Amino acid sequence: MSIRSILAAGLAAAIVGLAAPATTQNLTSSFKTKQTPTLLPGQSAWVHFFFEGAKDPITDFKMSLVAPNGYTVDYPSAGTYTSFYRDSTLDPNEVDYAAVRIGVPATERQNQRAVVVVTCKVGGKPYLWFGSTLIKVKVNKGDDFAVLTTEVGPLAADSDTWVHVDFQGLAPQLGDFQVRVTDAKGLGVTYPGSRNYSGLYGDSTLNAGELDYSALKLDTTGMPAGKYTIELEVTYTGGAALQSSMQPVQLAVEVGGRDALSTSGALWSDRQRLDRSDTRATFVLDAGQAEAGRSYALFGSMTGVAPGVRVGPHTLPLVVDGYTLLTARMPAAVLRNARGTLDASGRALATFTLPPSVVAALDRVTIYHAYVVFDTASVSLASDWAPLLVVDE
């Protein structure tokens, strides 16, 4: 099975959307982002504004965004405007995007319009254009967070395995976020750092729209094969109640036979964050011995992990964006050993290197990676995801 066929279904819509030619020079038709992805009150996120080139080349492109009162707008390199990802030029029929970080007030309760201002040259002549985009806001009317992991396994009998429980923030600034197992149904439970709880991978706060996970080591020694529903307790400060809160969560755990292996491979990174002094991270891909000798492919996203891309019977936990397309088409630009063959233990190493020149532009952006394992017939596994936070310091 080829890399192209692996992602064909998931990427087809995105690639077709990037291929349609423009029919007029007016930037109103060239501007493609009529509304933003849905944001949450209190969330700050980078939004990509796509443009498609028309008859004459566009040069010296600069874009700014005028948002309603209370919103924050930031540009790459702490500048006063943004330009295209590749450079400041857009050729006929070329597609590129300009990135703006939008911060939604925690008190926002409805969609809002923002004004898009572009200065550039079209065919060598100065050009000024005003447009608008709808900032989509989804108000949190229920839980402060969502649990994205509802089941894990099958786990091998008489073994201990680290598992991820993925969370997404739905309310602003859930601080001191902690996860504990209150009813393990006989499973042994170990928390990172020998603590009596598991925190988040990134830091102790889960922000609106943010994705992060807590790790638990589950010991199946002496457990008969079967499915068990364990009880989790999540505590945090803040959220809708603006006070300490506790919420029960159920997690289904399947314990298989002595030879059972997980249906989702592990992905670990030696770094949690990248900065100007060190822009390299090493990934450990651990798909399990049953996958030994099979091919793998590592992909990425700067947008998130849910709902993901369906690849056969599996879901690759990445939201398709420009970075996904880059890692699908030209992975060597940032990833080394993004394609290869798993060793006799079902493992492989890959490295990610971010060009130092783009660290400032990606300040506070989380980059997510995940991989698939496949052979000539089908995809056999889609991995967990691993985040890397970029900070300009």
Query: At 64, which CATH number?
Result: 2.60.40.1230
Is the pLDDT confidence value at 7 over 60? no
Assigned domain for 4 exists: no
Flag whether pLDDT at 175 surpasses 60.
yes
336 inside domain: yes
386 and 279 in a single domain? The answer is: yes
Is residue 281 pLDDT above 60, yes or no?
A: yes
Provide the domain limits for residue 245. Answer: 145-255
1 lies in a domain? Answer: no
> Mean pLDDT across the chain, nearest whole number?
82
Inform me whether the pLDDT recorded for 154 exceeds 80.
no
Last residue of a domain, one of 135, 170, 190: 135
Same domain, 249 and 289: no
Q: Are residues 386 and 271 in the same domain?
A: yes
| pLDDT score of 256 | 61
Domain boundary among 187, 220, 255: 255
Is the per-residue pLDDT at 28 higher than 50? yes
Domain co-membership, 372 together with 282: yes
Whole-angstrom distance between the N-terminal and C-terminal Cα of the chain?
42
CB 389 within 8 A of CB 202: yes
pLDDT for residue 116: 93
> DSSP readout, 56-105?
S-EEEEEEEEEPPTT-EEE-GGG-S-B-BSS-S-B-TT-EEEEEEEEE--
Answer yes or no: do 286 and 228 share one domain.
no
Domain membership flag for residue 260: no
| 161 and 197 within one domain | yes
**Angle formed by the axes of helices 322-329 and 3-17, nearest 10°:** 140
Residue 2 lies in a domain: no
- pTM comes to 0.53
CB environment 216-228: b (16+ within 10 A), e (fewer): bebbbeebeeeeb
Say yes or no: 238 and 271 in one domain. no
**Rounded Cα distance, 256 and 289, in Å:** 15
Q: How far apart are CA 184 and CA 188, in angstroms?
A: 7
Establish if 207 belongs to a structural domain.
yes
In this prediction, residue 352 carries a pLDDT of 92
Q: Please tell me the distance from the alpha carbon of residue 191 to that of residue 216, in angstroms, as a whole number.
A: 6
**Of 102, 239, 109, 119, nearest in space to 167 by CA:** 239
Please say which residue of 135, 162, 183 terminates a domain: 135
Whether the upstream peptide bond of residue 154 has omega within 30° of 0, thus cis, is yes
pLDDT score of 296 more than 90:
yes
Model confidence pLDDT, tens digit, residues 338-381: 999 999 888 899 999 888 777 877 887 888 999 999 987 788 88
Give the pLDDT confidence of 85-112 residue by residue, as tens digits.
889 999 988 889 999 999 998 888 889 9
Check whether 152 has a pLDDT greater than 50: yes
Rounded to an integer, the average pLDDT of 295-308 is 88
Task: Say if 6 falls within a structural domain.
Answer: no
The verdict on 153 and 238 lying in the same domain is yes
β-sheet bridge partners, residue 131: 116
State how far the Cα of 61 lies from the Cα of 120, in Å rounded to an integer: 4
DSSP letter, residue 177? E
Using alpha carbons, list the distances in angstroms from residue 371 to 226, 300, 340: 28, 8, 11
Same domain, 245 and 299: no
Domain membership of residue 11 (yes or no) is: no
Number of domains into which the chain is organized: 3
Taking CA atoms, 26 is separated from 51, 84, 94, in Å, by 11, 18, 15
Residue 63: the pLDDT is 95
- All residues at 6 or more sequence positions from 69 whose CB lies less than 8 Å from its CB, including other chains: none
Residues 51-74: what's their mean pLDDT?
92
**Residue 178 maps to which CATH number?**
2.60.40.10
Query: Based on the domain organization, do 37 and 114 belong to the same domain?
Result: yes
Report the alpha-carbon distance of residue 361 to residue 391 in Å, rounded.
Answer: 10
> Do 128 and 150 lie in a common domain?
no
**pLDDT over 60 at 208, yes or no:** yes
The backbone torsions φ and ψ at residue 292, rounded to the nearest 5 degrees and listed phi first, read -55, 135
**Same structural domain, 308 and 216:** no
